[in-house]
């Protein structure tokens, strides 16, 4: 792990996003609450938050962090589901990996919840949108 003991504790926040492309039939099944395993959006939201809280168990050399907040929001669109996750903390290290992990696990959960209808779904565009705090400064995707 990187030694962060000399860094100051600062407020840090990261936002990540991703997309699960799916058929129109799958989108309609979600919209009409006809998916076999229940509500995929709610299951994916909870899975993403849980994943953010356990990122250090999934990604080697990540610092274990006690997040102040983790949130996952989804938007059902005509061609799939847009995912946005945020994580925040006051700490010596950032929360980019927590936000990215939340998006990835939320996307995988959507796939799992809907695979009986659509095995051709595509998980894509997982990326950091922004981050604030820390010595490296702020970042916002252009």
Distances (CA, A) of 79 to 25, 30, 63, 82, 91: 10, 12, 36, 9, 38
Starting at the edge strand found earlier in the chain, the sheet holding 139-140 runs 69-77, 80-91, 10-21, 122-132, 139-140
Tell me the catalytic residues: 112
How many whole angstroms separate alpha carbon 141 and alpha carbon 113?
A: 30
Residue linked to tokens 């990996």: 97
Helical segments of the chain, H only:
24-31, 40-53, 55-58, 96-114
């Amino acid at each position: 792990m990187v030694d962060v003991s000399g860094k100051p504790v600062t407020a840090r926040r990261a936002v990540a996003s991703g997309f699960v492309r799916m058929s129109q039939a799958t989108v309609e099944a979600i919209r009409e609450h006809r998916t076999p395993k229940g509500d995929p959006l709610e299951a994916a939201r909870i899975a993403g938050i849980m994943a953010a809280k356990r990122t250090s168990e999934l990604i080697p050399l990540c610092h274990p962090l006690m997040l102040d907040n983790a949130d996952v929001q989804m938007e059902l669109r005509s061609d799939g589901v847009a995912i946005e996750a945020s994580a925040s903390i006051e700490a010596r290290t950032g929360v980019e990996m927590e936000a990215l992990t939340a998006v990835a696990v939320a996307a995988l959960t959507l796939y799992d919840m809907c695979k009986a209808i659509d095995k051709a779904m595509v998980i894509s565009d997982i990326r950091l949108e922004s981050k604030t705090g820390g010595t490296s400064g702020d970042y916002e995707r252009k």
